[in-house]
């Protein structure tokens, strides 16, 4: 009697696991889709009913925030279940272009630039140009990340190596998160603050858009948090996250703005500190002579 072949009990389960990260990516796309629709709807009524428009702007900002959560989960779930694929990497990047590239542009244009600046003015044209450059920088940042993820070796001389602890350049989800958190903090259209303040606030937003675009294509290192271990020894991390989740539920408009601004700025701060430390280490004799 021939021995029976061992049955692969978990074969179907293993195939099903591949669907989970894709579902989170699909949810990411869905949130970006809703953010664009809410922004369009708000722009339609921004002049006749700014209060109702602020509600749609807030919904769009929240949708982008939820998309960041889904985008974070799809990668972590794929690594935990060992279901990461090259197709998943490309699918995730295409989703990010919509949710963290086009959706914030639609939101910022409807909430600030189009609502505050005349369409025929040079300032309006500059704002549209900066939004386009933000999208281009974000797409370039995603393309560079895909190359580094699929080919960790240095392709060209001077190309940064892949580092699991850090991102090279500001990732596009935190950039979009900062823009969305500002709208969530103050969802009323900028045109409702009066002509003078509306222009001033719009110019500040335009400067921020330009800075975020530069940071995305820069080589400044940003913490990836991929090496965090949520085991028994790091149980306190779970408690901190639970407390942060409760505070976010109660004070989301303040906490999200603080967290997003802190993440965007921490890369710049560490870059300045490293540059100063490297400069002092390179010229110790000159420092001693000055003393």
The residue among 250, 93, 265 whose CA lies nearest residue 174 is: 265
Is 22 part of a structural domain of the chain?
Answer: yes
Q: How many domains does the chain divide into? A: 1
Question: Taking the mean position of all CA atoms in its chain, how far away is CA 66?
Answer: 11
Identify whether 6 is part of a domain.
Answer: no
Distance CA 249, CA 241 (A): 12
DSSP one-letter code for 186: S
- Residue predicted with more confidence, 177 or 277: 177
Q: Which of the residue ranges 55-59, 207-211, 212-216, 249-253 would you say has the lowest mean pLDDT?
A: 249-253
Q: Has residue 3 been placed in a domain?
A: no
Residue 276: CB atoms within 10 A of its CB come to 10
Greater pLDDT, 246 or 223: 223
**pLDDT value, residue 132:** 96
* Residue 143 confidence (pLDDT): 87
Structural domain containing residue 64: 11-290
Q: How confident is the model at residue 261 (pLDDT cuts 50, 70, 90)?
A: very high
Residue 1 lies in a domain: no
Q: Which DSSP string corresponds to 208-240?
A: HHHHHHHHHHS--EEE--TT---SGGGHHHHHH
Confidence class of residue 157 from pLDDT cuts 50, 70 and 90? very low
pLDDT confidence tier of residue 285, bands split at 50, 70 and 90: low
Which uninterrupted H or E stretch holds 79? helix 50-80
pLDDT in tens, 3-38: 554 444 445 555 556 677 788 889 999 999 999 999
Predicted confidence at residue 150, as pLDDT, reads 63
Determine phi and psi for 227, rounding to 5 degrees. Answer: -95, 5
Q: Do the domain assignments include residue 142?
A: yes
Residue 4 maps to a domain? no
CA distance 221 to 251: 29
Q: State the pLDDT at residue 9.
A: 43
Residue at 50 is within a domain: yes
Q: Is the pLDDT of residue 54 over 80?
A: yes
């Amino acid at each position: 009697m021939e021995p029976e072949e061992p049955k692969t009990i978990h074969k179907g389960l293993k195939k099903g696991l591949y669907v989970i990260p894709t579902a989170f990516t699909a949810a990411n796309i869905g949130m970006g889709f809703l953010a664009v629709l809410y922004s369009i709807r708000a722009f339609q009524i921004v002049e006749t009913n700014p209060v109702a428009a602020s509600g749609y702007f807030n919904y769009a900002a929240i949708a982008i925030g939820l998309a960041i959560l889904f985008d974070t989960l799809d990668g972590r779930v794929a690594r935990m279940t060992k279901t990461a694929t090259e197709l998943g990497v490309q699918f995730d990047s295409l989703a990010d272009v919509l949710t963290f590239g086009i959706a914030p542009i639609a939101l910022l244009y409807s909430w600030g630039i189009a609502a505050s600046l005349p369409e025929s003015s040079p300032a309006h044209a500059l704002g549209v140009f900066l939004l386009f450059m933000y999208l281009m920088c974000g797409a370039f940042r995603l393309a560079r990340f895909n190359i580094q993820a699929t080919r960790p070796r240095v392709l060209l001389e001077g190309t940064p190596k892949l580092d699991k602890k850090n991102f090279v350049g500001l990732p596009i989800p935190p950039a979009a998160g900062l823009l969305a958190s500002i709208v969530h903090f103050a969802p009323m259209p900028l045109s409702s603050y009066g002509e003078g303040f509306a222009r001033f606030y719009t110019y500040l937003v335009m400067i921020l858009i330009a800075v975020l675009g530069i940071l995305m294509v820069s080589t400044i290192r940003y913490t990836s948090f991929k090496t965090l271990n949520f085991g028994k020894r790091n149980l306190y991390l779970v408690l901190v996250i639970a407390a942060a989740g409760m505070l976010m539920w109660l004070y989301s408009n303040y906490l999200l703005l603080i967290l997003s601004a802190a993440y965007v700025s921490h890369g710049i701060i560490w870059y300045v500190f490293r540059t100063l430390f490297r400069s002092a280490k390179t010229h110790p004799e000159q420092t001693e002579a000055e003393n």
